[in-house]
Chain A
Amino acid sequence: MSPALPIRLERLAYRVPGKTILDCLEATIAEPGITALIGPNGAGKSVTLRLIDGLLTPSEGTIRIGADGSARRAFVFQRPALVRASVSRNVALALEPLALSRRERTSRIERALARVGLRGRAGDPATKLSGGEQQRLALARAWATEPQLLLLDEPTASLDPAATEALEALVAEMAGGGTKILIVSHNLGQVARLADDVVVLDAGRAVEHGPTRQVLFHPRTAEARAYLKGELPWTSFAAAS
C-alpha cells in the first residue's frame, strides 16, 4: 500500500473572516490510484487540496496522511507557476529540499523531462513554452521529486484537447507507478477517464464517495444528482420558490 494511504479527513473545517469554506468535512480515501474531487464552484475542493498539502492550516479538525504523515507530496496548480529560468532549472528548484547528490539531481531532471517529452527543451526559457508544455513541465517538476501523493488542481482547465489528452496519459502513468493522486476537476469526462473513485463536495462537506461509475451514473444523494445534472444551486432555489 502507498505510504500516503489512507488519507483521513476528520471533521475538517476551514473558515476565513465572514465565510465558512469547509464545514466538518469527513472523508477517508484508502484506495490506491486516482481519486477525483468534484462539486460546484465554492464547494471547497481546491481548499481541501491545499489543506492536505499543508499550504493552509485547518480551522478545526485533522488530516492524517498514511501511517505517520511523512509521505512526500507534490502539487500541480491550475496555472503552472514557473520561474523565469530554463526548463531544467525549474525542475531543479523542486529538488533543492531533497539534498540529493549532483549526479542524482541531474539524472532525475533528465528522466522527468524525458517522461513528459521536454528533454530537448531543457535549456529553453520555461516561460517561452506553450500552455500545454508548461503544464507538462509542472508535472515533470512534481515527478522529479518522486512523490507518494500528487495533488492536481484542475491541471487541464486551460489546455486544448490534445494537450489535455497528453497530460491525462502522464497522470495515468504516474498513478500506475504507485503514486496516489488526488485531482480536482470540473471535466466529468476526464473524471470518468481517469478516476478510480470520486468524492463529491457540496457547501464544504463531502456528500458522496464511491467508485467512479457508481457516483457518476447512479449518485445516491440529491446534492450529487443536482451537480451531475448541471443544476446550479440558485436554479434549484428558484424552482423551489
Chain B
Amino acid sequence: MHETLSDTFSRLASLDREVFAIAWLSLRVSLSAVLIGCLVGIPLGSLVAVSRFPGRSGAVGLLNAAMGLPPVIVGLVVYLLLSRSGPLGPLGILFTPAAMVAAQSVLVTPLIAALTRQIVADAEAHLGEQLRSLRLSAWRRAGILIFDVRFSLLTAVLAAFGRAISEIGAVLVVGGNIDGFTRTMTTAISLETQKGDLALALALGLVLIGLVILVSMAASLLRAYAARAYG
C-alpha cells in the first residue's frame, strides 16, 4: 500500500506524460461535449420554459427523464449509429475522440436542457409578465431570460461537466479504450485497476478529482463575483 502511494505521488510529481496525456484527452472530450450540450440544451430548455404548446408537459417530462439516461445505453445507441452499417457509418469516426464527444454530447444535452428549463422557468415566473407586456417575441424573451440567469446556468454547466468527465460506459463503447488514442481517465482507471497497476489508477483518480474540484471552485468564484456585482 505504502509503495503504491509513493509510486502514485512520484508519477504526479514527475508530471508523468502518460497520466497527463490521458487527462488532457478526457478534458478535451468532456469540454467539447459540454460546449455542444450548451449550444443545444440552453436554447432548447429556455424555449420550453417560455413557450406554451400542446404536449408541453410531456416534453418537460421527457427532458427530465432523459437526465438519467444510462451512459452505456447512450454509448450503444451512438455505436449503432456510427458503426459501418449504421446511418452515420460513412463518417468513419467510430473509435475516435469525435465519437466519444458525440456520445457524451447526447448524454449531457438533456441534463443541460432540463436544468436550464427549470432555472429559466423560475426567472420567467418573476420577469415573464413584464417581458410579455413589453411585446417582445418568445425568442427574445428566452434570450433575455438566459442573460438574466447566466450565472445560475453555471450550475447546469457544472453538473454536465461532472457527468461527462466521470462517465465510463459511453466513452468505453464508442471509443474502444485504445491506448494513446481514446483512453480517458475513467476507462484507464478501470483498466489499470484490473491489470493491477494501482499507482497509475490512483494517479489518474487524483487528477480527475483535482480537475472536478478546480472547475467547481472556478464556478463558485464566478458566481460569488456575480452575486456581488449584479445581485
Contact = CB atoms under 8 A, between A and B. Distances in A.
Interface of A: 50, 53, 55, 73-75, 77, 81, 83-85, 93-94, 96-97, 125, 127-128
B121 to A, nearest CB: 15
B130 A85 contact: no
B129 A81 contact: yes
Task: Assign chain B's interface to a size class.
Answer: 10 to 19
A125 B229 CA distance: 7
Contact of B133 (A55, A84, A127): A55
A55 B132 contact: yes
Given A73-B133, A127-B231, 9 more contacts: A77-B130, A83-B147, A83-B148, A84-B147, A84-B151, A84-B230, A85-B147, A93-B134, A94-B134
A53 B133 contact: yes
A174 B129 CA distance: 23
Tell me what chain B mostly uses at the interface: helix, strand, loop, or mixed.
helix
Nearest to B132: A55
A47 to B, nearest CB: 12
Interface of B: 126-127, 129-136, 140, 144, 147-148, 150-151, 229-231
Given A55-B133, A75-B130, A97-B136, A83 B231 contact: no
B49 to A, nearest CB: 16
Nearest to A138: B130
Nearest to A81: B130
A50 B128 CA distance: 13
A142 B144 CA distance: 18
B92 to A, nearest CB: 46
A85 B149 CA distance: 11
| Residue of A77, A81, A84 most packed against chain B (CB within 10 A) | A84
Contacts of A85: 147-148, 230
B123 to A, nearest CB: 9
A83 B144 contact: yes
A165 B223 CA distance: 37
Contact of A75 (B133, B147, B150): B133
Contacts of B140: 96
Nearest to B130: A81
Which of A73, A83, A93, A128: most chain B Cβ within 10 A?
A83
A128 B227 CA distance: 10
A17 to B, nearest CB: 16
Contact of A96 (B126, B132, B136, B147): B136
Contacts of A97: 134-136
Given A81-B126, A81-B127, A83-B147, A128 B133 contact: no
Contacts of A96: 134, 136, 140
Contacts of A83: 127, 144, 147-148
Contacts of B151: 84
Nearest to B133: A75
B94 to A, nearest CB: 44
A77 B128 CA distance: 12
B57 to A, nearest CB: 16
Nearest to A127: B231
B128 to A, nearest CB: 8
Nearest to B150: A84
A83 B141 CA distance: 11
Contacts of B230: 84-85, 125, 127-128
Contacts of A81: 126-127, 129-131
B227 to A, nearest CB: 10
